[in-house]
Structure 1
Amino acid sequence: MEQSGNITAVVVDDQAMVRQGFAALLGAQPDITVVADAADGAEAVDRVTRLHPDVVFMDVRMPVMDGLEAARRILAAGLDPAPRIIMLTTFDLDDYVFEALRAGCSGFLLKDAPADELARAARLAVSGEALLAPTVTRRLIADAVARHPGPTARRAAGSPAARRLAELTPREREVLEQIATGRSNQEIAEVLFISEETVKTHVRRVLQKLQLRDRVQAVVFAYENGVA
């Protein structure tokens, strides 16, 4: 379910025209308020930790501090609830995007996305209901894991991740597999022949048992642990 009420947002980009354009597009939405913007990662950390917005649109490459480092610092700051961070990116930054998702960002959006996608991204990120740009995200994660498995991939049978995975019921594992494909709750319901409400319940339990914050983290977990 999407969050009711007003969504607060911060826009971070080193180009003033991009910041102003994104802020104007978001601010035109009746349920979104842009509370600040920032020109680099250091400014972003300061504004976000002071203002506690719901969503942060974060550019990747910026002076002083890049978007990934800023996202890591924001997510490590202990804000409750933690803001949802959406990375603003292009197709040529696959590895960077994957590291951002692994660090806890809630997804990514291409910089040339239309205005309605920008607002939709904010709403989806806050609700945790669906993956942003699922087809592209899925490809990026699969490619990045294949090239750079990292220390968390191929977990040993007795590892904490493997133990959490073993706690899932067969149906919950099926739902996790479907989440990893980028499917929405409605699409999962159609594939598994169950109601959308039942899917929502399973998704909630999967995230709780795997100790994950949202669906994006579930996709990363699935790929790193051989589920997808």
Structure 2
Amino acid sequence: MDSARSSPKRIVVADGQPIFREAMLRIVRGTFPQAELYVASDLESLMARREVDPELIVLDFLCPDYDPVFSARWLRGEFPYASIIFVSSLDDRRMIGNVVANGADGHIGKSATPEEIAEALQAIVAGAPAGRPTAPSSRNRGELTPRQREILDLMAEGRSNKEIGRALNISPFTVRIHVSAVLRFLEVETRAAAVAKAISTGLYPRF
């Protein structure tokens, strides 16, 4: 995992439901114990957090009058340098893809366990997709992380997610998060297409 991107210093947890907000705070605090945490319950309080310059925003959709794609695009404009991760009950895969394409760095289902949410938060922060603006001190998001390169190498060898997980000592859930980030980076929809493009562009093999 890329340590420069895996330990955000300022995090905002935003959700209109107090019970879920408190649960997410506990998960985020345990995942990033060195970070300063801030909360927001609605759009107004979220906007008030701009002054803290958050590096990570974890939220449910806070724009009930707009669709998720609009919300993602709007939030990216308001917080251009932050990683933005939605944790919601949205289960439409096409919509989730559009949300990511329009500004979000990732989406995690609310049905995931606390352990899975923590793993996904770390994986998404470490492997945020390309195409976002970057602050001067941040990692170039136009590059694959070292972990993503390992995943790509094993994908090229024909390994399954379970086999990749065993090889890297990570869970299949975390493997899926990284594979999705690789597919987004390469702008393809399948593993086979990802490997083919990686070979044609010189990303694989690395040596």
Written as runs of structure 1 = structure 2, the 5 A alignment for 1:29-40 is 29=31, 31-33=33-35, 35-40=37-42
Distance in 2 (CA, whole Å) between partners of 1:43 and 1:68 is 21
The answer for unaligned runs of 5 or more in structure 1 is 131-175, 177-182, 194-213
Distance in 1 (CA, whole Å) between partners of 2:183 and 2:20 is 25
CA contact (8 A) 1:58 1:87 kept: yes
Q: Secondary structure at the match of 2:121?
A: helix
Q: Secondary structure at the match of 2:3?
A: coil
Instruction: Confirm whether residue 112 of structure 1 aligns to residue 79 of structure 2.
Output: no
Distance in 2 (CA, whole Å) between partners of 1:71 and 1:216 is 20
Distance in 2 (CA, whole Å) between partners of 1:190 and 1:119 is 24
Q: Which residue of 1 aligns with 2:153?
A: 189
Q: Which residue of 2 aligns with 1:133?
A: none
Distance in 2 (CA, whole Å) between partners of 1:15 and 1:76 is 24
Q: Secondary structure at the match of 2:54?
A: coil
Instruction: Tell me how far 1:61 sits from its aligned partner.
Output: 5.7
Distance in 1 (CA, whole Å) between partners of 2:13 and 2:31 is 15
Instruction: Confirm whether residue 72 of structure 1 aligns to residue 73 of structure 2.
Output: yes
Q: Which residue of 2 aligns with 1:23?
A: 25
Q: Which residue of 1 aligns with 2:46?
A: 44
Distance in 2 (CA, whole Å) between partners of 1:101 and 1:57 is 14
Written as runs of structure 1 = structure 2, the 5 A alignment for 1:49-198 is 49-60=50-61, 62-63=63-64, 68-77=69-78, 79=80, 82-128=81-127, 184-192=148-156
Instruction: Specify the code of the residue in structure 1 equivalent to 2:2.
Output: E
CA contact (8 A) 1:87 1:105 kept: yes
Instruction: Specify the code of the residue in structure 1 equivalent to 2:23.
Output: G
The answer for unaligned runs of 5 or more in structure 2 is 130-143, 158-180, 195-207
Moved over 6 A (4+): none
Distance in 2 (CA, whole Å) between partners of 1:102 and 1:30 is 26
Alignment TM-score, normalising by the size of structure 1: 0.52
